[in-house]
Structure 1
Amino acid sequence: MSGDADVAVRIAGLNLHPVKSCGGIAVDEALVIETGFEFDRAWMVVDPQGRFVTQRELPRMALVRPTLRHADMLLRAPGMLALHLALDAVEAPAQATVWNDTVKAYDMGDLAAQWFSDFLGRPLRLVRFDPEQRRLADRRWTGPIEAETAFADGFPLLVASSAGLDELNTRLGQAGHDAVTMQRFRPNLVLDGLEANGEDHLDEIVFDTPDGAVRLKLVKPCARCSIPDVDPATAQTGHAVGDTLAAYRADARLDGAITFGMNAVIVEGVEAVLRIGQAGTASYRFD
């Protein structure tokens, strides 16, 4: 960790994951909204009881590839005809459960349900987050900030560093494993300019955009499950990533959980646009 009070950073990557736990989209710019980035984790696959499902139990979800267009989202998967979903249309009101939160949502209809059920091999439905619903991140970590989130696990944004991935890949290579991409970790923002895993020690990041300042507060390390060991290109599972991280990424703040990346909340900047290459200033936490 640097001893300087501030560090210059640059946005090296911006990613959206429109359907929770399905493939991501690398984008050149992202609109900041109350729940994070527009369209990020706005849709979710659920079982017949409305409970979320993820790559933890269905690794093939990684093979569902979204494309966002002007008026619709296109979903593709191996062996399937493309599914088109209008961005401005939903069907019946519904409820959905993500972790311990049951929230208002909209069912996306029988065609979408059949598409996911056919591809993933069990009865499933697709829902969209109700924008009138306020789902708040855990106040134990956000303090006075009421941070809204859609279907993300718990926080509006996830931040990771390019150097952190480089460090992991160095260690994977030393152990005889192939390098991995940042897709494994599903961050919204990837930053250049930090030391390896330097995001662990940041307090806030400020980006001065033409739309005004975007200020993000990093509040909680991101504990890792089995998903980083799912190959996003093939959906094959392994254990090299988890085993390698376990050797050096136990985090005392989470009772020794294995972490990679930091969850962030939006302090200001709703309706501003972040872009690849955007420069920012990050401040360190001194607690």
Structure 2
Amino acid sequence: MPGESNEWTVAGLYTYPVKSCQGVALQSSTVTATGLQYDRLWMLVDARSGRFVTQRQHPRLALIQVSINEKHGVLELNAPGMSALQVALHPTDLGAQVPVRVWYDTVMGRRCSADADAWVTQFVGKPTHLLYKDPDCPRLVSRYVPEKCAPQAGFADVFPLHVTTTPSLADVNSRVPSKLTHTHFRPNIVLSHPHALPYEEERWTRIEIGRDAWSLFITSRTPRCSMPNVDLEVGKMREDKEPMTSMRTFRCVDPGSPSFVCFGMQAAPQITGHTVWVGDSVVVREYGEHSLTEPL
């Protein structure tokens, strides 16, 4: 499109194995049916209410470090004052099935183990389960889905992938009181371009990535909750409610949902099995308008 930059580079890749805990920076990742490999396949759930637990209610989840040991097939969780917890990276001996509501969807999870439940219960301070996404119960995404695309999701809020760009983050940082990183917005794929304008990604509908030129559909803006207000260093909500207070003055931009602060774009791959690398080239192939006329 005239006046826009159509050649970008993958500057960062992140997977978040446990929803609302720290992410893992990657050099490469396989694109699976539910997003980058291992992304949001585990989640904490309140044992009494059955509701999923996030940094919105428990900002201390930002202190849980997650590491992936593929050689030993282990996902390890570490947190201040806690011994390490290890769970199987590819679990085969799963516990009871637990239905949990993730926004507008009922998603089936499986309890990992009694030890895992005890660990997350101790950290959160009330009875909590650690669930693994039930692989036998796929969660299909039905809203804002383009033709020739049948996305699934694990425990992500909606779509399997989330994309942000460095020019847009730089613009936000020029307008808010404290410096933010991409991790405040929890993207899977960060794109960079030395001369692009902020928010060009909001007019994309399809991009191609890497030598295979695999297609990634850009499906909608990402409406933001309060999680960017978490001080990631200490695991507490900022008392000044920044950056969201400032962002409300310039990022309520979606014509269908003008009351939502938006940053980043939801995305879904056309087909899976490709590998994405930091440094991959990205070409914008199709443009269009986005409008959140119904909730994600």
TM-score (norm 2): 0.89
1:127 aligns with 2:131: yes
Q: Identity, % of aligned pairs?
A: 32
Query: After the TM superposition, which segments of 4 or more aligned residues of structure 1 sit over 4 Å from their partners?
Result: none
Q: CA deviation at 1:143?
A: 3.8
Mind listing any 5+ residue stretches in structure 1 that lack a counterpart? Answer: none
- Correspondence list, 1:51-90, <5 A: 51-70=51-70, 71-89=73-91, 90=93
In structure 2, what is the Cα distance between the partners aligned to 1:91 and 1:217?
33
For 2:94, the equivalent position in structure 1 comes to 91
1:112 aligns with 2:111: no
Cα distance change, pair 164–60 in 1 and its aligned pair in 2 (3 A): same
- Correspondence list, 1:130-279, <5 A: 130-139=134-143, 141-144=144-147, 145-172=149-176, 177-193=177-193, 194-209=196-211, 212-238=212-238, 239-256=241-258, 257-268=260-271, 270-279=272-281
Structure having the larger proportion of residues in helix: 1
1:34 aligns with 2:38: no
Give a deviation string over 1:66-111, Cα, whole Å, max 9, x none.
Answer: 0001110110001100101111224213123222322222101111
Aligned length in residues: 278
Per mean C-alpha deviation after superposition, the further-off stretch among 87-96 and 214-223 is: 87-96
Give a deviation string over 1:184-208, Cα, whole Å, max 9, x none.
Answer: 1000000002421221111111013
Cα distance change, pair 68–254 in 1 and its aligned pair in 2 (3 A): farther
Mind listing any 5+ residue stretches in structure 2 that lack a counterpart? Answer: 290-296
Per mean C-alpha deviation after superposition, the further-off stretch among 155-164 and 3-12 is: 3-12
Measured on the aligned residues, the alpha-carbon RMSD in Å equals 1.6
Secondary structure of the equivalent of 1:250? coil
In structure 2, what is the Cα distance between the partners aligned to 1:225 and 1:188?
17
In structure 1, what is the Cα distance between the partners aligned to 2:99 and 2:190?
30
Q: CA deviation at 1:131?
A: 1.8
Letter in 2 for 1:69: N
Letter in 2 for 1:183: T
8 Å CA contact 2:207–2:286 kept in 1: the answer is no
Q: CA deviation at 1:5?
A: 7.2
Letter in 1 for 2:74: D
In structure 1, what is the Cα distance between the partners aligned to 2:190 and 2:263?
12
8 Å CA contact 2:184–2:228 kept in 1: the answer is yes
8 Å CA contact 2:107–2:155 kept in 1: the answer is no
Letter in 2 for 1:191: L
